[in-house]
Amino acid sequence: MVSRRKLLAGGTTIAAGAAAAAVSRMAMAALPEPVLQTRPDTMPPLAPATGRPYRPVVTLNGWTLPWRMNQGVKEFHLVAEPVVREMAPGFKAHLWGYNGQSPGPTIEVVEGDRVRLFVTNRLGELHSIHWHGQRLPNGMDGVTGLNQPGIPPGKTFVYEFVARRPGTFMYHPHADEMVQMAMGMMGFWVTHPKGHHPLIDDVDRDFCFLLNAFDIEPGSATPKIMTMLEFNLWAWNSRIFPGIDPFVVRHMDRVRIRVGNLTMTNHPIHLHGMEFQVTGTDGGPTPRSTRRHEITEDIAVGQMRQLEFVADEEGDWAIHCHKSHHTMNAMGHGVPTMIGVDHREVVSKINRLIPDYMVMGERGMKDMTEMEMALPDNTAPMMAGQGPFGAVGMGGMFSVLKVRKDQKPGDYGDPGWYRHPPGTVAYEWTGSLPDPARFAAEGGGSMPPAAPVRMPVEVKARKPGGGHGGHDGHGRH
Ligand SMILES: [Cu+2]
């Protein structure tokens, strides 16, 4: 999160870019200097120093790309290049991205702005960028081969169009799409409304992030690019829990969270504690008559959603993808279910033969966080987050919405854990326990079986084994 120290450090980088807004006429003939940012921290919102005013967004574990005004045109410079992204503390991945990061920086403009984007290709193969959702001239749409030739390695292309409609957008490659997106190339784009818009409310805090997924074999650092279903790292802006910053807001703030999905499956994003409304989709702001309260919004592949709510409940509220496999980090193996089995002796014997062997905990997966196991080098922590009451047995797409009365306006700094008022935390029952009254185990049905049951069977629920690609859950290693 944005501490004072980080703010200063990050501010230097961004200020250097903002200063480019005041370059000489001579320099205006040249490309805008690319601004690079390699820290994975959530940077403070970039207040517009030039152009039309707006309330800037905060990019989760990311930043907004500074621009320069050149005779009324907003100029940005994106550099497509290999990057090293810290996905969680102690876990770095070799990805591709823009300007030092995966995802690339967020681009913020105002409805009606003329935008000129210089795109420099520092990859070893053709590149192009598609401005997902924008109204623009066909030749600016970025599909290699269809709308333009691919940008060769080492070359820079220029895209120029007017940001015609306000809303939530993304950008991503449209050259060798599968590889380049699997490697982490994507970014967020927000077009703010010009003046008051009847369907776009002012908010106090405006967050954005992309859903993305990677398949990085434990022990390696580069994603596999052929994967279609069996991803093992489910990320928000190329970060995984516990490495995802919290969303920090003031009590009674009006909050907007913008989410875009550039994975290959849907993600039901679930907020605890409060209901939100979906105020915008890919097509723009939603009519007020269609808005209803939700606590989970399924975001399909290639879609964007704006979730809005008034933060009227204090506390530390979970926000996560509701697919439970997406709140887990990389797993080393097709893990057998061992619930109910005391396997400690077995494991130590197997480990003599197969040092990396792991089994699922006997009381559930959370056991693994407490077991002494050597993970291969550069493996994401299986599940590790230390909350105020102990370990949080999660990974992947999980973060915390922190609602505080004493948070200052504009302060996104982490306030620490919520201090619950006395008597408002679930507690242990210490009285006597009556024997539970149980119903019979056999149920009825809408019809009797056609033939009497000869041989009753009893099974235990078991996670699907590895090797067959039918489910979109954990890795199959
Ligand atoms: Cu998900």
The DSSP secondary structure of 281-345, one letter per residue, reads: ETTEEPPGGG--EESEEEE-TT-EEEEEEE--S-EEEEEEESSGGGGS---SS-PPP-TT---HH
Q: What's the 72 CA to ligand 1 centre distance in angstroms?
A: 41
Could you give the CA distance from residue 291 to residue 305 in angstroms, rounded to a whole number?
A: 12
176 CA distance to ligand 1 centroid (A)?
A: 24
Average pLDDT, the chain: 84
Q: Which residue has the higher pLDDT, 135 or 53?
A: 135
- Tell me what percent of the residues of the chain surpass a pLDDT of 90: 60
Please check the confidence at residue 336 and state whether its pLDDT lies above 70.
Answer: no
Q: What is d(CA 44, CA 58) in angstroms, rounded to the nearest whole number?
A: 7
**What is the CA(452)–ligand 1 centre distance, in A?**
43
- Residue 66, class by beta-carbon neighbours within 10 Å (0-12 exposed, 13-18 middle, 19+ buried)? buried
Query: For residues 354, 228, 183 and 270, what is the CA-based torsion angle, rounded to 10 degrees?
Result: -100
Distance from the alpha carbon of residue 326 to the mean position of ligand 1, in angstroms: 5
Which residue, among 310, 313, 59, has the nearest Cα to 203 in the 3D structure? Answer: 310
CA of 368 to the centre of ligand 1 (A): 22
Which DSSP string do the residues of 413-432 spell out, in sequence order?
S---S--PPTT-S-----S-
Burial of 95 (0-12, 13-18, 19+ CB in 10 A): buried
Buried b (16+ CB within 10 A) or exposed e, 316-325: bbebbbebeb
Q: What is the DSSP letter of 133?
A: T
Q: Which residues, other chains included, contact 290 with Cβ-Cβ below 8 Å and sequence gap of 6+?
A: none
Helix (H) or strand (E) holding 182: helix 177-182
| Arithmetic mean of pLDDT, 138-156 | 97
**pLDDT confidence of residue 352:** 73
Contact indicator for 192, 166 with CB cutoff of 8 Å: yes
**Which residue do the tokens 């015609």 mark?**
164
Q: Are strands 267-271 and 315-321 parallel, antiparallel or unpaired?
A: antiparallel
* Centre of ligand 1 from the C-alpha of residue 33, in Å: 37
Instruction: Measure the N-to-C terminal CA separation of the chain; round to a whole number of Å.
Output: 33
Give CA–CA dist 81/251, Å, rounded.
Answer: 40
Quick: pLDDT tens for 175-198: 998 899 999 999 999 999 999 999
Average pLDDT over residues 433-450: 80
User: What superfamily does domain 4-196 belong to in CATH?
Assistant: Cupredoxins -  blue copper proteins (2.60.40.420)
More confident residue, 97 or 218: 97
Cβ atoms of 444 and 312 closer than 8 Å? no
pLDDT higher for 119 or 384? 119
Separation of alpha carbons 262 and 233, rounded Å: 13
Three-state DSSP state, 230:
coil
Of 29-38, 351-360, 408-417, the one with minimum mean pLDDT is 351-360
Q: How many other C-beta atoms lie within 10 A of the C-beta of residue 24?
A: 7
Q: Say how many Å lie between the CA of residue 385 and the centre of ligand 1.
A: 19
Report CA-CA distances (Å) from 448 to 117, 441, 455.
Answer: 69, 17, 16
Residue 275 CA to ligand 1 center (angstroms) comes to 19
Distance from residue 209's CA to the centre of ligand 1 (Å): 14
State the pLDDT at residue 31.
84
Q: What is the mean pLDDT of residues 198-206?
A: 97
Distance 343 CA to ligand 1 centre (A): 31
Tokens read off for 112: 């009606």
> So what's the pLDDT on residue 355?
66
Q: How far is it, in rounded angstroms, from Cα 376 to Cα 374?
A: 7
The helix (run of H) or strand (run of E) holding residue 173 is strand 167-173
Cα-to-centroid distance, 431 and ligand 1 (Å) = 40
pLDDT digits (tens, 9 = 90+) for 73-129: 999 999 999 999 999 988 899 999 999 999 999 999 999 999 999 999 999 999 999
Residue 243: predicted pLDDT: 93
Give residue 227's pLDDT: 78
pLDDT of res. 334: 45
Neighbours of 199 (CB within 10 A): 15
Whether pLDDT at 15 is above 70: no
Calpha distance 194→313 (Å, rounded):
32
pLDDT digits (tens, 9 = 90+) for 274-321: 999 999 999 999 999 999 999 999 999 999 999 999 999 999 999 999
CA of 210 to the centre of ligand 1 (A): 12
What does the pLDDT look like over 265-277, one tens digit per residue? 999 999 999 999 9
